[in-house]
Amino acid sequence: MGFADRLHQRIRVTDSRVCLGIDPRPETSPLTDPAGLDHDRQRVADAVADAYEAVLRETHRYLACCKPQAAFFEALGLEGLSALARLMAVARELDLPIILDAKRGDIGSTAEAYARAYLTDGALAADALTVNPYPGLDTLEPFLQAAQAGERGVFVLVKTSNPGSADLQDLLVRGGLTVHEVLAERLAARAQDLPAGGSGYTALGAVVGATHPEALNALRRRLPRSVLLVPGVGAQGAGPEDVAGAFDAGGLGAVVNASRSLFDVEATSLEALASHAADAVQRLQRGINDALNARG
């Protein structure tokens, strides 16, 4: 079964459209002591993996998927990447789809190497990978081919959630579209040639920030065969009501990521942290579902 179908099956079973962002910031984690541990990467990496393993085991029933952010693990060096491998193994054990947020992108055989790293097998293989399209549409092909071959997915950055996303993405191109709209049209054309499973969606997804509700609505229409991965809810300021436009008429076709806002607590134990995260995930789950129901 292709990635989009697997993801939708899970959305139906859990009634959740929430993606748990795994962004281990040692400096803000309740389970590390920056003063004491900051210079011991192995201990920080172990603490991070312990914390998120507890959270995954407590929250997975309320999740559509999880999204480890590669940067925070890479910041902990080789020890951090081992912690990432450990958490990915936990997610696999829980049958929780993994979108690795690594925003890779490069040309030719280099893109093939990244696809081999994250969309085939091995300790860091994910169900889907985020990729950066700036090098060009040809550079997405190795990722799409690996995704097709392995029933995995690709999420192409289209419109990011940060203030500076307008700098290049919103430049107005001759013809009247913005750069990110031109990109979306090209991606939609490419998705026409990719098989869609029972869900109606292909392996070619898109990343669109929740902080731009209008773009979210427009891109939902422009990309009818692409699952949208929507970051920006919570700490970045968007709420569940901002993301309703990411979903199709049946309330499907998107997942909403939250990271920091789920861990906004001074927990003193793994149990307290995991329990708080489970409450926060369920609040977001209900918030999104309520916003979809209110849309009618």
Cα(152)–Cα(67) distance, rounded to whole angstroms? 14
Q: Does 36 bind its own copies (CB under 8 A)?
A: no
Nearer to its own copies, 181 or 242 (CB): 181
Q: Are 124 and 118 in contact (CB under 8 A)?
A: yes
Residues 283 and 277: their CA atoms lie apart, in Å, by 10
CA 208 to chain centre: 10
The footprint of its own copies on residues 134-163 (CB under 8 A) is: 134-139, 157, 160-163
Q: Taking contact as CB under 8 A, which single stretch among the options 66-74, 144-152, 215-223, 265-273 is the one that binds its own copies?
A: 66-74
Q: Which of 103, 186, 283, 286 is catalytic?
A: 103
Sign of CA dihedral 153, 231, 287, 247: negative
Question: Per-residue string for binding with its own copies, 209-228, x by CB under 8 A?
Answer: --------------------
x/- track of binding to its own copies for residues 172-211 (CB under 8 A): xxx----x--xx--x-------------------------
6 or 222: whose CB is closer to its own copies? 222
Min dist CB 100 to its own copies, Å, is 11
- CB 197 → its own copies: shortest distance, Å? 27
DSSP 235-277: TTSB-GGGGGGGS-TTS-SEEEEE-GGGG-S--SSHHHHHHHH
Active site residue 103: yes
CA–CA distance from 236 to each of 134, 169, 173, 245 (Å)? 24, 19, 28, 18
Shortest Cβ 167–its own copies spacing (Å)? 4
* Residues 6+ positions from 47 with CB-CB distance below 8 Å: 26, 29, 31, 32, 37
Type of residue found at 79: E
Among 9, 25, 42, 272, binds its own copies (CB under 8 A): 25
Tokens of 123: 């300790």
Q: Which one, 69 or 148, has the nearer CB to its own copies?
A: 69
Instruction: Choose between 9 and 110: whose C-beta lies nearer to its own copies.
Output: 110
CB-wise, 134 or 271, nearer to its own copies? 134
- Pick the closest to residue 56 from 118, 16, 98 (CA basis): 98
* Residues with catalytic roles: 103
Residues that bind its own copies (CB under 8 A): 23, 25, 41, 69, 71-72, 74-75, 77-78, 81-82, 85, 103-111, 113-114, 116-118, 122-124, 132-139, 157, 160-169, 171-174, 179, 182-183, 186
